[in-house]
Amino acid sequence: MPRNPFSLAGRTALVTGANAGIGRACAEGLAAAGAHVIAAGRSPMDDTLAAIAAAGGTAEALHLDFDDPLAARDVFSGREVDVLVNNAGIIRRADATDMTEADWDAVIDTDLKALFFTCQTFARAALPRGRGKIVNIASLLSFQGGIRVAGYTAAKHGVAGLTKLLANEWAAKGLCVNAIAPGYVETANTEALRADAERSAAILARIPAGRWATPQDIAGACVFLAAPASDYVNGAVIPVDGGWLAR
């Protein structure tokens, strides 16, 4: 293990959905730890790249649109990437009796199918090298049911299961596969919840930490799971939830 087990100097990390929220925070955190970051997604990455550069890090943008779940099929050919952070995701809210097939398919395709096939293509490149880190962004709804987010709950349960399966297959070959389960984070995905005063108050009342998370709260766990410090961590789904699941 290097002198600083949290150093990512000399490593390259690809973060999907890195334009804002948790993805941007993870990209900035990985860059601060020394990684060269590839900020990937379908939205412009200008703010993320500017923030990383201002802090003295290095980064580049890569256009990936996971409307096509196989969008990353060629990303790792001819490009050595040490760390993959699967953060890109969408959510659709509706009562279970009202959820449309189109919304179900959109969420499953982006949040689960694209994640699996991105892991697959990363592993095909990384396994011959005998090392690599995958960090999947799961959710509290990998453990719980939630309400009005049937597709998202199904997808995030799937992310937790795939994380364990891939760790079982790849850990002995040098790839660490783990996930982070963020709690309630101040991002665009939770804007509707935070705008609902009654729901927001009920959520906050259950969080022992007494506040919603910021995206930066998730970035520290991401750096840990990407760094040598976690080389013997495999198949874990780590809640970063302010104590929500302990309540």
Q: Which domains does the chain have, with CATH numbers?
A: 12-186+212-242 (3.40.50.720)
pLDDT of residue 188: 81
- Please answer whether residues 1 and 231 qualify as being in contact, where contact means their C-beta atoms are separated by less than 8 angstroms: yes
Residues in the chain, total: 247
Collapse the DSSP code of 51 into the 3-class scheme (helix H, G, I; strand E, B; otherwise coil) and give the result. helix
Q: Distance between CA atoms of 138 and 125, rounded to whole angstroms? A: 23
Sequence-distant (6+) residues with CB within 8 A of 92 are: 99, 103, 104, 106, 107, 149, 151, 152
Sequence-distant (6+) residues with CB within 8 A of 42 are: 63, 64, 65, 66, 67
pLDDT of residue 76: 97
pLDDT of residue 189: 76
pLDDT of residue 181: 98
pLDDT of residue 19: 97
Active-site residue flag, 184: no
pLDDT of residue 75: 97
Measure the CA angle with vertex 13, ends 62 and 51; round to 5°.
Answer: 70
What residue ranges of the chain have pLDDT lower than 50?
1
Q: Distance between CA atoms of 55 and 125, rounded to whole angstroms? A: 30
Q: What is the dihedral of CA 222, 224, 227, 232, to 10 degrees?
A: -120
Q: Distance between CA atoms of 89 and 111, rounded to whole angstroms? A: 5
Q: Is the dihedral of CA 18, 20, 22, 26 positive or negative?
A: positive
Q: Which is catalytic among the residues 76, 122, 152, 212?
A: 152
Pull the structure tokens for residue 199: 């729901």
Q: How far, CA to CA in Å, does 221 sit from each of 59, 121, 199, 229, 230?
A: 20, 24, 27, 11, 10
